[in-house]
Amino acid sequence: MGKKGGPPKKSKKQLEEEALQALEDARKEANAAKVREMANRMTADAQIRASLDREREEAKEEAMRLEYESGMVEYGKSKRWTVLGKIRQAERERVEWEEFAACSGRPNIRREADIVTYEQWLEADAEEGRLFSVSQYKPGLGMANNEG
């Protein structure tokens, strides 16, 4: 009978070389996998760092915006308080002018100075009335204007 079909039988040396080649290929593939894994890890780390940097920058911008807006709000409040104060002052002046224009002899009870002035005016008026009465008195005649 003749030869059987198929590839020729390999020698021991060829088998060892193929085994070594397979080990070398496996080692190269493992190294390549490690390099790919390391590259993927480095890319992920870079993305995380970039994301953190972006978040920090956004937080810084947000803080600056809030500080600016806070200043604007305080300025607006201050301006409104100033306007409100002027409106209240104008209202007080209007009320005081109306009281003055009414010429009422009553003091403003909200102001102690007006009450004190009013009391002094009453005392002075009473004293003036007493002095006038005494000046009109004539001993033995009674009152000069009153013949009674």
Tell me, what's the pLDDT at 1?
47
Tell me, what's the pLDDT at 86?
97
User: Is 115 inside any structural domain?
Assistant: yes
User: Is 44 inside any structural domain?
Assistant: no
Exposed e or buried b per residue across 92-120, where buried means at least 16 C-beta atoms within 10 angstroms of its C-beta: eeeeeeeeeeeeeeebeeeeeeeeeeeee
In single-letter form, the type of residue at position 33 comes to: A
The C-alpha atoms of residue 109 and residue 99 are separated, in whole angstroms, by: 12
For the entire predicted model, the pTM comes to 0.40
User: Is 32 inside any structural domain?
Assistant: no
Tell me, what's the pLDDT at 144?
54
> Which run of H or E residues covers position 118?
helix 112-136
Are 25 and 17 in contact by the 8 Å Cβ rule? The answer is no
Query: Would you write out the chain's pLDDT as a tens digit for each of its 148 residues?
Result: 455 666 778 888 888 888 899 999 999 999 999 999 999 999 999 999 999 999 999 999 999 999 999 999 999 999 999 999 999 999 999 988 887 787 777 777 888 888 898 889 889 988 887 777 777 777 766 555 554 4
User: Is 148 inside any structural domain?
Assistant: yes
User: Is 53 inside any structural domain?
Assistant: no
User: Is 132 inside any structural domain?
Assistant: yes
Tell me, what's the pLDDT at 148?
46
User: Is 61 inside any structural domain?
Assistant: no
State how many domains the chain has: 1
The C-alpha atoms of residue 132 and residue 143 are separated, in whole angstroms, by: 11
Tell me, what's the pLDDT at 68?
94
Tell me, what's the pLDDT at 58?
97
Which domain covers residue 127, as residue numbers?
106-148
Residue 56's φ and ψ, nearest 5 degrees, are -60, -45
